[in-house]
Amino acid sequence: MGRPVGGVEEVPAFQPQVYTYVCDVGKRESVYSTAEKVRRDVGEVDILINNAGVVSGHHLLECPDELIERTMVVNCHAHFWTTKAFLPKMLELNHGHIVTVASSLGLFSTAGVEDYCASKFGAIGFHESLSHEIKASEKDGINMTLVCPYLVNTGMFKGCRIRKEIEPFLPPLSPEFCVKQAMRAILTDQPMVCTPRIIYMVNFMKSILPFEAIVCMYRFLGADKCMYPFLAQRKEAMNNNEAKNGI
């Protein structure tokens, strides 16, 4: 990893004041009450980054309803609550930036993670509609950035595999790389950033090719069942925990 700009050892010279809060973004009451605490303790928010995300890790017919609801609430509905909490003041001041951290699986889907894909598609739809609304309101001081990374090596989708011959050309991304790309996009007011850049091409091809051609492309890449090893690992881990706890 390269040396941070300015050097991390220089940060204390600025004497930054950091505030942390615990908030369940899946509960709108928690979001609204936390937003009030932030305004009271810190002041108005200039930039809102919606980054919370969960995955159930089950095939649709094996997934409990409550886990599907949890995925939709955290990955999609929470964007409504956080935006409603902070956007009014941004509109009043005509100043602010809203960042939606979505996923490449919000642009094109794959098998086995229907709830996750649906939630990310929903988050992107919300982001795009809100972008149009802000443009229509002629608030040129408020910017929107959509972040759509490929598989990030955080362990969230541990076991996910594409075709082994393709993997060297499309490996999981490091969190540091994704953050760097997202920060560059935010600082330059870029409306959308996909990492790696091939995601732009895949998304474009999806928009112009017939569905069967997309299926063939997925199968060539090994992307059609790339989540199956991940789902199998999650199921095995769950069965082991149940056996261990005597369930």
End-to-end Cα, the chain, rounded Å: 45
Query: Catalytic annotation on 150?
Result: no
Collapsing DSSP to helix, strand or coil, 218 comes out as: helix
Q: Let me know: does 88 contact 32? Beta carbons within 8 Å.
A: no
Q: Let me know: does 222 contact 163? Beta carbons within 8 Å.
A: yes
Q: Let me know: does 142 contact 134? Beta carbons within 8 Å.
A: yes
Cα separations in angstroms, 144 against 120, 148, 189, 193: 17, 13, 7, 11
- Active-site residue (options: 116, 150, 218, 228): 116
Collapsing DSSP to helix, strand or coil, 30 comes out as: helix
HEC assignment per residue over 50-119: ECCCCCCCCCHHHCCHHHHHHHHHHHHHHHHHHHHHHHHHHHHHCCEEEEEECCHHHCCCCCCCHHHHHH
Active site residues: 116
